[in-house]
Amino acid sequence: MKYHPIDSSLFVKNRQKFMARMQPASLAVFNSNDIYPISADSTMPFQQHRDIFYLSGVDQEESILLLFPEATDPKHREVLFLRETNEHIAVWEGEKLTKERAFAVSGIKTVYWLKDFDKVFFDLMTEADTIYFNTNEHYRQAVETETREGRFIKNCKEKYPAHQTAKSNPILQEIRGVKEPQEIDLMRTACGITEKGFRRVLNFVRPGVWEYEIEAEYLHEFIRNRSNGFAYTPIIASGNNANVLHYIENNQQCREGDLILMDVGAEYANYSSDMTRTIPVGGRFSTRQKEVYQAVLRVKEEATKMLVPGTLWAEYHKEVGKIMTSELLGLGLLDKADVQNEDPDWPAYKKYFMHGTSHHIGLDTHDYGALKTPMKPNMVFTVEPGIYIPDEGFGIRLEDDVVIQEKGGPVNLMENIPIEADEIESLMNKG
């Protein structure tokens, strides 16, 4: 891995939080992701399942974590199963975790090779009444492939039909949504790498460059700072491309007078950052572009102030909608009749701002986290309002990642990334 080692105390603490919420006489199993084929002998780059990483720090394929707080033998209360390594694997694939190294990474003393899983698992299931399955219940999930986790669940139900089942996901939604200080530090590092990429791009952008060249500048800076690359597929959208919310082609030339909306973020140690900035290709905003830019920035600033303990996510978005409506009236994009006659289920402002303002962020860009209960300290959210005007040939979105505090407004993990229009113009025209 490119990232610096993470102190195992984080994963010890995460497991303790999970196990404290388990039912009596229950065990939980977490599987790594598959390596997915492309064709022939080609595969997609491996990405570890975020839940097993969150609970163990293990970042390699063919790994299993088992948690059983009430196991008769204390050594079986936390168990890792790993693919057995050898000299042949070391030569052809590189270093894999040894049992000793796995303990150093995870803080788990009991480590077996995968070939022992069925035997150990059967023995422990004779002691357990309930097994926790790790199904994906994220509100945006759209899984069409059968995962390693899915195959395990299917097999387990066939072999152990008399056991009760429970869901790991509600526990993970609760505990992953509230970040530990170490997690926030990792996210701050990811945001710092994103800042370096953005400052590099400010010195690179000029009329005539291509969107994919800008993407390449970000990627170069991210990797040279120990990131694996982008936390999600980057959006580099010049001109009217910015009005396609998930524009990812990044294949157009940037023209004088256009704006470029850049939604990019570096990952670090599997933790995401998520930034959006909108900059002028020629280094200067037009009067109208700056007018809209300042409106988006004001909405972002007001929305950020509302991210405090006790805020309800759904109510927060309604309030942001009111602020956005006021700004759109001021810009002449809406009039009073538009507002008076609006559909309550699709308010007038949605014509120019059709997406949400904030989502949890962490190990996943759209991270786990409770959305129907009040916000808590150390939750991390994006703040990303935008105004999209196809008739005028541009769209503007601004986005930072912020941490909710015990008291007062949130801490902005991207406070050092330039966002004021005047500062962006100054940096783009320096020297």
The percent of residues in the chain predicted with pLDDT above 70, rounded, is 100
CA dist 341 → 15, 346, 347, 355 (Å) = 52, 11, 9, 21
Structure tokens at 335: 């009039």
pLDDT at 417 over 80: yes
pLDDT of the residue at 1:
87
Report the distance separating Cα 331 and Cα 348, nearest Å: 14
> Hey, where are the domains in the chain?
9-176, 181-428
pLDDT at 87: 74
For residue 6, the model assigns a pLDDT of: 98
> Has residue 20 got a pLDDT over 80?
yes
Is 104 strand, coil or helix? helix
Helix, strand or coil for residue 297?
Answer: helix
Kindly indicate the confidence band of residue 431, based on its pLDDT and cuts at 50, 70 and 90.
low
Question: What are the tens digits of pLDDT across the range 293-319?
Answer: 999 999 999 999 999 999 999 999 999
Residues 169 and 311: their CA atoms lie apart, in Å, by 23
**Can 9-176 and 181-428 be said to share one CATH topology?**
no
- Cα–Cα distance, 43 to 40 (Å, whole number): 9
Has 397 been annotated as catalytic? yes
Q: Are strands 63-67 and 42-43 parallel, antiparallel or unpaired?
A: unpaired
Is 80 exceeded by the pLDDT of residue 160? yes
Task: Give the mean pLDDT of 179-205.
Answer: 98
Of 217, 224, 255, the closest CA to residue 237 belongs to 255
Residues written for the chain: 431
The more confident residue out of 322 and 86 is: 322
What is the reported pLDDT for 91? 66
Please enumerate in sequence order all residues whose Cβ is within 8 A of that of 77, keeping only pairs 6 or more positions apart, or say none: 67, 68, 69, 70, 71
Interatomic CA distance for residues 417 and 115, integer angstroms: 49
Number of Cβ within a 10 Å radius of residue 332 = 8
Q: What is the pLDDT of residue 92?
A: 76
Active-site residue (options: 149, 274, 302, 364): 274
Amino acid at 118: D
Give the helix/strand (H/E) hosting 427.
helix 421-428
Q: Which of 51, 263, 367, 400 is catalytic?
A: 263
CATH topology of domain 9-176: Creatine Amidinohydrolase; Chain A, domain 1 (3.40.350)
Q: Taking Cα atoms as reference points, which of 235, 256, 258, 238 lies closest to residue 247?
A: 235
Could you read off the pLDDT of 393-410 as tens digits, one per residue? 999 999 999 999 999 999
- DSSP class of residue 168 equals S
Residue of 200, 284, 298, 366 marked catalytic:
366
Q: Which residue among 359, 360, 364, 401 is the active-site one?
A: 359
On average, the pLDDT of the chain sits at 96
Verify whether residue 359 is a known catalytic residue.
yes
List the single range of 82-86, 113-117, 168-172, 242-246 with lowest mean pLDDT. Answer: 82-86
Tell me the per-residue pLDDT of 86-106, one tens digit each, with 9 for 90 and over.
777 776 777 789 999 999 999
What's the CATH superfamily of 181-428? Creatinase/methionine aminopeptidase superfamily (3.90.230.10)
Q: Report the sign of the C-alpha dihedral through residues 308, 312, 317, 322, in that order.
A: negative
pTM for the structure as a whole: 0.96
Q: What angle do CA 11, 13, 15 make, to 5 degrees?
A: 70
With a pLDDT cut of 90, the percent of the chain lying above it is 94
For 171, the token pair is: 């526990």
Q: What is the pLDDT of residues 242-293, one digit of tens each?
A: 999 999 999 999 999 999 999 999 999 999 999 999 999 999 999 999 999 9
pLDDT at 367 over 80: yes
Catalytic residue among 15, 50, 188, 397: 397
Which residue among the candidates 220, 246, 255, 288 is catalytic per the annotation?
246
211 catalytic? Reply is no
User: Is pLDDT of 55 > 90?
Assistant: yes
For this structure, is 246 an active site residue?
A: yes
Residue 133 makes CB contacts below 8 A (sequence gap 6+) with 29, 149, 153, 156, 165, 166, 167, 168
The helix (H) or strand (E) run that includes residue 166 is: strand 164-167
Looking up tokens 């966002």 gives: 419
- Start-end of H helices in 270-332: 287-305, 313-330
Name the DSSP letter for residue 4. Answer: P
Is 220 annotated as catalytic?
no
Burial 379-416 (b: 16+ CB within 10 A, else e): bbbbbbbbbbbeeeebbbbbbbbbbbeeeeebebbbee
pLDDT digits (tens, 9 = 90+) for 373-395: 999 999 999 999 999 999 999 99
Say which of 151, 224, 255, 355 is annotated catalytic.
355
Check 388, 400, 401, 425 and give the catalytic one. 388
pLDDT at residue 356 is higher than 90: yes
